[in-house]
A and B are shown apart, each in its own frame.
Chain A
Amino acid sequence: MTTPDFALRGVRHEYRTGGAALTGIQLEILPGEHVAVVGANGSGKSTLLKLLDGLVFPTAGEVVAFGKPLTEEALEDPAYRRDFRARVGFVFQDADVQLFCSDVRDELAFGPLQLGLTRDEVERLVADVAAHLRIDRLLDRPPYTLSGGEKKRVAIAAVIAMHPRVLLLDEPTNALDPRSQVWLLDVLDEWKHEGRTVVMATHDLSAAAEAADRIVVLSEEHAVVADGTPQEVLTQRDLLLSVNLIHEHTHRHASTAHRHAHAHGAGADPLAMHPHEHAHGARGGES
């Protein structure tokens, strides 16, 4: 039987100020799976990712990573910490938070140098990753001079430079322009073929439908309420309405009132992912 990359057993997490961020979480993430954790704002998606990365720890229950309990004590062991950090990469929602070095080159080199690779190895690695993600021309720029899309690319490159087996992405399509979103979906597809595990927290249902082969839904009560394939989950209209991922939308076509479910995100139609142009106007037709 395959050992899951992560197993969460009865996990509950409370904020320092009190109040549950997550409750009763039972979840297994298998190697190579691409899992989208979807839920409304404040449902606990980011906290779940931080639990998986050992940045916060459960108030109750346990998180097991690669067959071993992931605890604060375990991460105090340098060998375990090095092994775990090398295996798991975390791309934060706010790229500004993640880019803390003085220029992009050092940003990409930070993780590999922390892992103890030699300078020559890291230089080669940085050049390869920068070329692969098409950010070579940014290498000497300070991160604060980059645009939002460029920052996101650099944040992803900085994590990829560590060659993690598992990638945790927090709202990866947030604040990305359409071209950068397509680029990101291509990168996710590439990771799928490379067999990397991806867990992404998002409320962008179209990105979840496109990039994940499994969707976990968190309710506004911070519990898992659905877990299945995109087809199984995203066709449950009542469920998506109840967890505040879609809402009822009424508009008129000529003299006829028209009511349907409406999702917000990069693409509005989560299960109809095909290239198309969408226009609203006098002759807008079906939406």
Chain B
Amino acid sequence: MSAPCPCCEVEVAPVRRRGRGRSLARRTADSLARSITDVLENEEIAARPGLLQRIDPRIKLITLLLFAVTVSLVHSLWVLLALIALTCVFAALSRVGVAAFARKVWLSAGLLAFLIAVPSALAWFTPGEAAFTLGPLTFTEPGLLGVATLVARVAAAAGFALLVVWTMRWSDLLRALSALRMPDVVVATLGMAQKQILTLLRTVEQIHLARESRTLTLGTTKENRDWVTERMAFVLRKSMKTADDVYDAMLARGYTGSMPSLRRLRVGAADWAWLATSVTICAVTLAASRMAGA
């Protein structure tokens, strides 16, 4: 049964529990439903009356860039951990669920960074005092410190990026990019790509649900693989036709190559205060990092 999304009354298929013994079609449809729900939830979070939601999109983008540069210049693990804590404080003040925020950051960026970096902690790559051994593998203390620093850096950067995306409506993000002199064609492409991805996600979800409703067995791996390949080709063809149709629709309304917007962005006192605070935090962070390294 479908349920309306709390923010926009759009019906999204419910996400079922994970588990074995479920068909490929059902598992894929559930995964797609989760993706659609994520996009719609982002809009709902961006509409909440929190700290970051009140900041002008352009200022928010600039401060993100500032924090990202700062994070990349910090070498102290403790300072990086403090920055991670700061992202959690910002999340809480912006009425973003801290648990969901931390899960997203650590399960995506954090885990990925750890998997990539962990081999560098081996004594073969980073010599030093052994921390522990796993069979023939010896992990060194300097190696583990390097891994921890890299993971913390990635998590801090991902946290700031996620906060910006979650606390800003997609339309405002595009407007901010446009205001910051991003070429019209890039902004228009980003805007349409996000919409088309969502539309195609719905299509693919329907395709999988339709298959699920007509399937009695789980099918062999080969059968599932063949079917998925064929459906991928179908969706690709459909996306190409949709792109043609969208372009026709733009031409029909007089498209001349620009994507003007009616929104006027205004920078207020609160935005300047946020910018000043961010600059101060970044300066203090860099100073603390330097002192820690000295």
Q: CB distance B262 to A53 under 8 Å? A: no
Give Cα A53–Cα B245 distance, bound, in whole angstroms: 13
Residues of A within 8 A of B169 (CB): 103, 142
Decide if A98 is an interface residue (CB 8 Å cutoff).
yes
Q: Which of B10, B249, B253 contacts A146 (CB 8 A)?
A: B10
Decide if A136 is an interface residue (CB 8 Å cutoff).
no
Q: CB distance B249 to A100 under 8 Å? A: yes
Q: CB distance A109 to B260 under 8 Å? A: yes
Q: CB distance B253 to A103 under 8 Å? A: no
The residue of chain B having its C-beta at the shortest distance from the C-beta of A95 within the complex is B249
Residues of A within 8 A of B195 (CB): 96, 99-100, 142-144
Interface of A is mostly: helix
User: C-beta contact mask, B158-171 vs A, less than 8 Å → 1, else 0?
Assistant: 00000000000111
Decide if A262 is an interface residue (CB 8 Å cutoff).
no
Residues of B within 8 A of A102 (CB): 170-171, 174-175, 191, 261
Decide if A266 is an interface residue (CB 8 Å cutoff).
no
Residues of A within 8 A of B262 (CB): 105-106, 109, 113, 119, 122-123, 126
Give Cα A55–Cα B250 distance, bound, in whole angstroms: 10
Give Cα A169–Cα B170 distance, bound, in whole angstroms: 30
Give Cα A141–Cα B252 distance, bound, in whole angstroms: 23
Residues of B within 8 A of A85 (CB): 252-254
Q: Which of A92, A105, A144 contacts B199 (CB 8 A)?
A: A144
Decide if B7 is an interface residue (CB 8 Å cutoff).
yes
> Which positions 194-251 of chain A face chain B at CB distance < 8 Å?
none
Decide if B209 is an interface residue (CB 8 Å cutoff).
no
Q: Tell me the smallest distance from the CB of B245 to a CB of chain A, in Å.
A: 4
Decide if B2 is an interface residue (CB 8 Å cutoff).
no
Decide if B9 is an interface residue (CB 8 Å cutoff).
yes
Q: Which of A90, A100, A145 contacts B7 (CB 8 A)?
A: A145
Residues of B within 8 A of A50 (CB): 248
The residue of chain A having its C-beta at the shortest distance from the C-beta of B175 within the complex is A102
Q: CB distance A142 to B255 under 8 Å? A: no
Give Cα A88–Cα B263 distance, bound, in whole angstroms: 26
Decide if A82 is an interface residue (CB 8 Å cutoff).
yes
Decide if B198 is an interface residue (CB 8 Å cutoff).
yes
Known contacts A100-B192, A109-B260; A162/B246 CB under 8 A: no
Known contacts A105-B262, A109-B261; A147/B252 CB under 8 A: no
Decide if A101 is an interface residue (CB 8 Å cutoff).
yes
Q: CB distance B253 to A162 under 8 Å? A: yes
Known contacts A114-B255, A142-B43; A97/B245 CB under 8 A: yes
Give Cα A96–Cα B249 distance, bound, in whole angstroms: 10
Decide if A189 is an interface residue (CB 8 Å cutoff).
no
> Which positions 197-235 of chain B face chain A at CB distance < 8 Å?
198-199
Decide if A133 is an interface residue (CB 8 Å cutoff).
no
The residue of chain B having its C-beta at the shortest distance from the C-beta of A75 within the complex is B251
Interface range for A? 35 or more
Give Cα A96–Cα B8 distance, bound, in whole angstroms: 16
Residues of A within 8 A of B255 (CB): 114
Chain B CB within 10 Å, residue with most, of A81, A96, A101, A144: A144
Q: CB distance B254 to A82 under 8 Å? A: yes
Decide if A191 is an interface residue (CB 8 Å cutoff).
no
Give Cα A177–Cα B271 distance, bound, in whole angstroms: 45
Q: Tell me the smallest distance from the CB of A127 to a CB of chain B, in Å.
A: 10
Give Cα A84–Cα B242 distance, bound, in whole angstroms: 24
Decide if B40 is an interface residue (CB 8 Å cutoff).
yes
Q: CB distance B43 to A145 under 8 Å? A: yes
Q: CB distance B263 to A105 under 8 Å? A: yes
Decide if A182 is an interface residue (CB 8 Å cutoff).
no
Residues of A within 8 A of B246 (CB): 97-98, 100
The residue of chain A having its C-beta at the shortest distance from the C-beta of B187 within the complex is A102
Q: CB distance A96 to B199 under 8 Å? A: yes
Q: Tell me the smallest distance from the CB of A82 to a CB of chain B, in Å.
A: 7
Q: CB distance A144 to B248 under 8 Å? A: no
The residue of chain B having its C-beta at the shortest distance from the C-beta of A104 within the complex is B171
Give Cα A122–Cα B170 distance, bound, in whole angstroms: 22
Known contacts A102-B191, A145-B43; A159/B253 CB under 8 A: yes
Q: CB distance B245 to A81 under 8 Å? A: no
User: 14 new A-B pairs (CB below 8 Å) besides A89-B252, A109-B262, A146-B8?
Assistant: A53-B252, A89-B253, A90-B249, A90-B252, A96-B199, A97-B246, A97-B249, A100-B195, A102-B261, A111-B253, A114-B254, A114-B258, A145-B5, A145-B9
Subset of 18 A-B contacts with CB under 8 Å: A85-B252, A85-B254, A89-B253, A90-B249, A92-B248, A96-B199, A97-B248, A99-B195, A100-B195, A103-B169, A109-B260, A109-B261, A114-B254, A142-B43, A142-B169, A145-B43, A159-B253, A162-B254
Q: Which residues of A contact B (CB under 8 A)?
A: 50, 53, 55, 78, 81-82, 85-86, 88-90, 92, 94, 96-103, 105-106, 109-111, 113-115, 119, 122-123, 126, 141-147, 158-159, 162
State the 6 A-B residue pairs at the shortest beta-carbon distance, nearest first.
Answer: A102-B171, A145-B8, A114-B254, A85-B254, A90-B252, A111-B253
